[in-house]
Structure 1
Amino acid sequence: MKTKLTLALEKTLYYYCRENGASPVEEVTMPDDAGIVDTLSYQEMPDLSIEWRCYELKVTKSDFHSKAKLSFVGHYNYFVLPLKLYQEVADEIPAGIGVLIYRPFDKAMLDTATEAPVAPGYLTVARPPRRQDLQVPESQLTARFIASQGREVNKAKQMATGLKQYSTDRLYQELKKRHQHYDIYDPESNFYDQFIEDTQSTAVTALQTEVDALNLEVYQLKQALKEQRP
């Protein structure tokens, strides 16, 4: 399970990439045992070349020192870290790897904001990355990226229906198993309340992801049409 801080970093990074003209997707499995990229972004540059960026999200020192493979296979590669963690591990970050620092928005500022931000915080560049050649064939990278987009679209289609995707019998049986643990004085400990909250939250995120995936499909179709023109 992802922690709240990890989800905050992930959501903030998603909008950071979008604001910079890139299309991001989370948890992309790489070929040839190259691990899983936490977030992979795709961006067409003015000269029509494609730029790939890989982001590894870490929230604790033990997480940073995990033996899980770092999938820095893109043209530019980053760690995305909370400020405190960056201060602890700055000397351990390899040369050429960029760093984005996550800071949550100040609550006092949010209380006086005229418009709520779409992300829980913001990112600043603590260290710029150095460009490298792709570490996997671009055709495979593109295929994995599109497959991950398809996965998110499928999730969106499921979650858009909310509880409708579950049969009445299944919901009844699952809730019946848990009714003996229901505590009206502690809603956060109740599976039913958590289920409703998670379903609604995931539905919003999934729908946004579906929109982004469809936009990517439109772009790819336009590119294909351009290539077919004499």
Structure 2
Amino acid sequence: MAETELTKEIKKALLYYTKADQAGVYGCYEVCLGAGYGDEYVDFMTMSSTNVFQSYEIKISLSDLKSKAKLSFCGDYNYIVLPTELYRREAVKEELKYHTARGIGILLYGDCFGQKYISQERISRKRTLNIGRKVELMHYMIRSLSRYPVKLAKAVE
């Protein structure tokens, strides 16, 4: 299924919010998790130069939040990213209780006077990942990042 414009906007805003456009933080969209070709995806993941992983799942509607698509919370810190208008709905807050009780953070995407921004609504609780899991996540990010030079090369052909 093709990404909506809103999803694309949120992904771009996450790049800047996480500072993955600067030195010391490495970001990747659509990180494929699992052996071989993988079996699940996380919408955006960052790794810092100190090996701290953060994963972000973007949800733009209540049906998206309730869908059977797995929410892949694999980082030291994990977040659900929602449009502010969606978060204000009582049914959404009820749906999020399950995740927030497990330490998942909430980030909100909004627009104020024409400026797009991401704000932190709820902080993520730190999980402890062992070194083996961190190496796996590095592998998944590298594998997923390898898509970009291939896309670039094909676009030039």
Give the structure-2-normalised TM-score.
Answer: 0.83
Which letter maps to 1:66? S
TM-aligned CA distance change 1:2 to 1:149, over 3 Å: same
Residue 36 of structure 2 corresponds to residue 36 of structure 1: no
The correspondence for 2:134, drawn from 135, 138, 154, is 138
Residue 130 of structure 2 corresponds to residue 125 of structure 1: no
Residue 25 of structure 2 corresponds to residue 25 of structure 1: no
Which letter maps to 2:109? Y
Aligned-partner Cα distance in 2 for 1:86–1:152: 32
Aligned-partner Cα distance in 2 for 1:17–1:51: 12
Q: Give CA-to-partner distance per residue, 1:99-120, whole Å, 9 cap, x none.
A: 110013533xx7xxxxxxxxxx
Segments of 4+ in structure 1 off by > 3 A? none
Q: Whose radius of gyration is greater, 1 or 2?
A: 1
1:84-103 equivalences under 5 Å are 84-88=85-89, 89-93=92-96, 94=99, 95=101, 96-103=103-110
Q: Give CA-to-partner distance per residue, 1:135-166, whole Å, 9 cap, x none.
A: 8722221111011111122223333x3xxx2x
1:91 Cα offset (Å)? 3.1
Give the structure-1-normalised TM-score.
Answer: 0.58
- Give secondary structure in 2 for the equivalent of 1:18: coil
Residue 88 of structure 2 corresponds to residue 81 of structure 1: no
Supply the RMSD in Å over aligned alpha carbons: 2.1
Aligned-partner Cα distance in 1 for 2:10–2:152: 21
The number of equivalent residue pairs is 145
TM-aligned CA distance change 1:156 to 1:105, over 3 Å: farther
1:189-228 equivalences under 5 Å are none
Aligned-partner Cα distance in 1 for 2:46–2:73: 12
Larger helix percent:
1
Larger strand percent:
2
- Give secondary structure in 2 for the equivalent of 1:29: strand
Structure 1 unmatched runs, 5+: 111-120, 166-230
Between the two structures, name the one with larger relative contact order (CA 8 Å, sep ≥ 6).
2
Structure 2 unmatched runs, 5+: none
1:79 Cα offset (Å)? 0.5
